[in-house]
Structures are given as structure tokens and as C-alpha cells.
Structure 1
């Protein structure tokens, strides 16, 4: 799986974990130098509290392009720290 924003690769991995039809990418497969922390957070009743990233490519920032769970509830331990992306903000293939 590969995620791009305006032709720039944000993440690429053969080892994503699919949860609720979203591919979660291992942290090492994500180009974190393109990301900045967002103030946004959401809560999932079975995964935990999600933190968000914004991405900057070619001087343009897309807010809240990705999310991850820095800490998870037990049922979601397999995606702790993994990063998922909003399909309407990036290309996932």
C-alpha cells in the first residue's frame, strides 16, 4: 500500500493492518518529516483517543490528513502508533 499527496509519497508498506476499512501503516513506513502535530483529537470507544497529523508538501499544508492512536485500549493494541489516512485528502493505492 502507498499513500501520496500531490504526487509525494507519505507512506508505503506491505505490512498495513486493516481496521474498519482503513489501512494503518507501521510508524517506520511513514515519512514523518512531512508531518506536523495537529491539535485535533477524537475518541473511539474501542480503540482509544486518536491524535492527528497535518502534512506539508510543496509548501502547502493539508490539515488533519492522518490519525494514529499513541495509546490504545487492549482490543486495538495491534494498531498502537500505526498511522491511517483520510481517503478524501490523499491517494491510497
Structure 2
């Protein structure tokens, strides 16, 4: 699976390494292209996953504010609910194309 903005690859990994939650694909941190994400100050806490870390997606075509997010410190019940530890995995907004 590949996450792209126009011609820039933001993340890439086999589907077997991704986690699908609530309609979003979460990529492992090692799949994210270096230099494409910068931390955002946007704060959010999911009631069942815990506090989120938002990122701006930075490409030669421009910056997508809050175009990605991650849950670095999951609630233990979130791992149980999903069946896999997805702490630090990164999901993307609809401005980022996810395709095989």
C-alpha cells in the first residue's frame, strides 16, 4: 500500500503490515518517508485510543495541515479492541491518496 500526495510518496508498506481502523489505514512508523511529516500542535484525544499526535504533511507541492495522525501512547484497551499494538502507526487525511 502506498500513501501519496500527487507524485510524492509519504508512506509505503505491504498491506499485511498495516492496520485498518474505522476506515483508515495505519502505516507502521518505519514505512513513513523521512522528512514528509512535521509535528503539529493540534490536540485531540480519542475516547478509546488515547491522545493523538497530529502531523503536517510536507511535500514539494505544499503542506497539508494536520494531514496525518498517530497514537503514540495507546490505552491498553485499544490494543485489545484492535487485536494489534498500533502505537506510533500513522494514518492520513483524505487529502492523501491511499492505494495498492
TM-score by length of 2: 0.86
Assess, with a 3 A threshold, how the Cα gap between structure 1 residues 53 and 42 changes in structure 2: closer, same or farther. same
1:91 aligns with 2:97: yes
Cα distance in 2, alignment partners of residues 67 and 40 from structure 1: 10
Stretches (4+) displaced over 4 A: none
Cα distance in 2, alignment partners of residues 80 and 10 from structure 1: 19
Structure 1 portions without partners, runs of 5+: none
Aligned residue pair count: 92
Give 1:7's aligned residue.
Answer: 7
1:79 is displaced (CA, Å) by 1.2
Cα distance in 2, alignment partners of residues 18 and 70 from structure 1: 16
Give 1:75's aligned residue.
Answer: 77
Structure 2 portions without partners, runs of 5+: 80-84
Query: CA-atom RMSD, angstroms?
Result: 1.2
TM-score by length of 1: 0.92
